[in-house]
Structure 1
Amino acid sequence: MVDFKKSTLELIQMGEGLTVEFKRTIDSPFKIAKTLASFANTSGGIVLVGIADNRSTVGITSELRELQKLERACGQLVEKELLVRCKTISLGLKNILRIEIEESAEKPHYAINEKGERIIYIRMKDKSVPINRLLLPGEGDAATDRLLNTRPVKNLIQYLKQNDAISDKEFSKLINVSEKRATRLMNDLLEAGVVMKRGSGRSALYSLKLVK
């Protein structure tokens, strides 16, 4: 979950990740639409425009041009309205834009690309990743729906959005249960199509599965 109370300087020191992205400038409405949608579809997030990947402050040259591209992205290139806040922050002699996006209760949001294609993006680590669609509570059978709404599974999904994979042992520590119980739960998730498995035995690793 994104912490909107953190100061801009704290966010810069933290660096990019699941809920923070830096941009020197808004290159195009299409690219910022992708980022906005991915944050809304995941845990919410903050975009700092005028900050380079190396965390240096480059500032923005025209606030108006940046806001025009942002407005087009929000108004025309993301399907279903997003809750977005934008403010100008002064860092020394330079200004940057701080854009805050709430996690949406109306998932999934589609971003429209340059070809007019509707694509769902989610946030994984510090990237906006396209997927076929989101597996949401209420879409599967009753058993899958119950699984997706349990705290251990919510914690697992949050973990796998920030990490590539997890083992049974790591999962047991994450949710504070025995490894045997964690393995049983992971097998339930495998059968439900929520995760996919690589390897076997104690060396097996699990990742989020993209739903077709």
Structure 2
Amino acid sequence: MIKDIVQTIKQGEGLTTEFKKTIDSPFKIAKTIVSFANTSGGTLIVGVSDNGTISGVASELKELQKLEKATAELIEPAIMISIETVSLDGRKILVIDVNESHDKPHYARNEKRERIIYIRVKDKSMPIPRLLLYGESDEDTTKLLASRHVKTLVTYLKETDSITAKVFSRIINISEKRAEKMLHDLAARQILLKISPKKPETFSLKWAE
């Protein structure tokens, strides 16, 4: 168990792993838990900095109280999580495991009490307007996913964080305007996620298999 945790910390943050030095807000932790449950599941480790430094938790009770508030009051529908306290280098850390949920989508309430769906994109928890579940796509979307250009795009994005219309146009040898239209169409169909609205617009895969 401890060896597995050490290895996870060494690998760094990613699609299924997030570090928190401390739980500074139940709202933020609710967002992370929901994003894991809505995507591929994951592990949240509290007491570890973003760079993997083990700092430990100052008060286990305070961290658990914030977790309890997040899971009991801020997540809908409720998500079951497992929490384990582990000692590493003489410091206590909390390891919170979240399974991929069969009850998607889950919502996290923010400070304004708004219900928001979050998913995991690379190592970030991102808000989306609607969660398109596997098997929900219409016939046009299915055909689009089977096309050569989109397959090339998905392969590229599984290895790279994001893409712009300019880069996409070069990869598949079409005009930048046409590439931009394709990216927007894929975002509208919930296949891609627009991660930067500023020019140049950047897009990422909504999830990774």
Aligned length: 190
Question: Secondary structure of 1:38's partner?
Answer: helix
Flag the 1:38–1:68 CA change in 2: closer, same or farther, 3 A.
same
CA distance in 2, matches of 1:74, 1:30: 10
Flag the 1:208–1:135 CA change in 2: closer, same or farther, 3 A.
farther
Which residue of 67, 76, 79 maps to 1:79?
76
Alpha carbons 1:18, 1:161 under 8 Å: kept? no
Listed one character per residue, the Cα deviations across residues 106-128 of structure 1 (whole Å, up to 9, x for unaligned) are 21111100000111111112111
Which residue of 21, 24, 29 maps to 2:21?
24
Tell me the TM-score normalized by structure 2.
0.71
Flag the 1:107–1:196 CA change in 2: closer, same or farther, 3 A.
closer
Which residue of 60, 64, 70 maps to 1:63?
60
Alpha carbons 1:124, 1:161 under 8 Å: kept? no
| Aligned residue number for residue 34 of structure 1 | 31
Alpha carbons 1:15, 1:55 under 8 Å: kept? yes
> Where in structure 2 are the equivalents of 1:80-99 lying within 5 Å?
80-99=77-96
CA distance in 2, matches of 1:118, 1:147: 31
Question: Secondary structure of 1:7's partner?
Answer: helix
Tell me the TM-score normalized by structure 1.
0.70
Alpha carbons 1:41, 1:108 under 8 Å: kept? yes
CA positional deviation for 1:165 = 3.3
CA distance in 2, matches of 1:123, 1:196: 11
Question: Secondary structure of 2:57's partner?
Answer: coil
Unmatched segments (≥5 aa) in structure 1: 173-186, 198-205
Listed one character per residue, the Cα deviations across residues 18-73 of structure 1 (whole Å, up to 9, x for unaligned) are 11111111111101000001111111111110001221111111111111111111
Letter in 2 for 1:88: T
